[in-house]
Amino acid sequence: MATITFKGNPVQTIGTLPSKGSKVPDFKLTGADLGDIGLGKFEGKVKILNIVPSLDTGVCAASARAFNKAAASLGNIAILTISRDLPFAQKRFCEAEGIDKVITLSELRDREFGKAYGVEMISGPLAGLLSRAVVVLDASNRVVYTEQVPEIAQEPNYQAALDAAKKAL
């Protein structure tokens, strides 16, 4: 369990992020087309998992925009923004914001991702949503970088995540 804060107030997550060097479990998330998507879809690619509570907040939206901008020059790196938002809302957000390089994924049907990756918040006003975190995986799905953002209202360290992803290429 990790302790983070939301506007300075303590919030607990269900666990901790996967440790560096560990191979992560596969997941089944829902894409914009309502199809199930797992890690296999991104086989052979480095992956940045940009995990957010909801794209309907300023900080989450900012992180999706920042990673989308960076994605243009990343080559064989897939950036996945994962939340519990409905795929319809994610798609509408991306269209409105011009986000076309980040892939949004939802926990619509399968809520195991948040538990398996230790990011489901279990206390506080956002309990049930995912915490703000970044996990970078190499092409074989081993963790090369993690950041559990300590304050939900803060943006992640984009440069550290991008540097780790580039190094894993």
Residues with active-site annotation: 60
Contact 1, 14 (CB under 8 A): yes
Phi, psi of 11 (to 5 degrees): -135, 140
How far, in Å, CA of 137 to CA of 118, rounded? 16
Write b or e for each residue in 8-32: b if 16 or more Cβ atoms lie within 10 A of its Cβ, otherwise e. Answer: eeebbbbbebbeeeeebeebebbbb
Length of the chain: 169
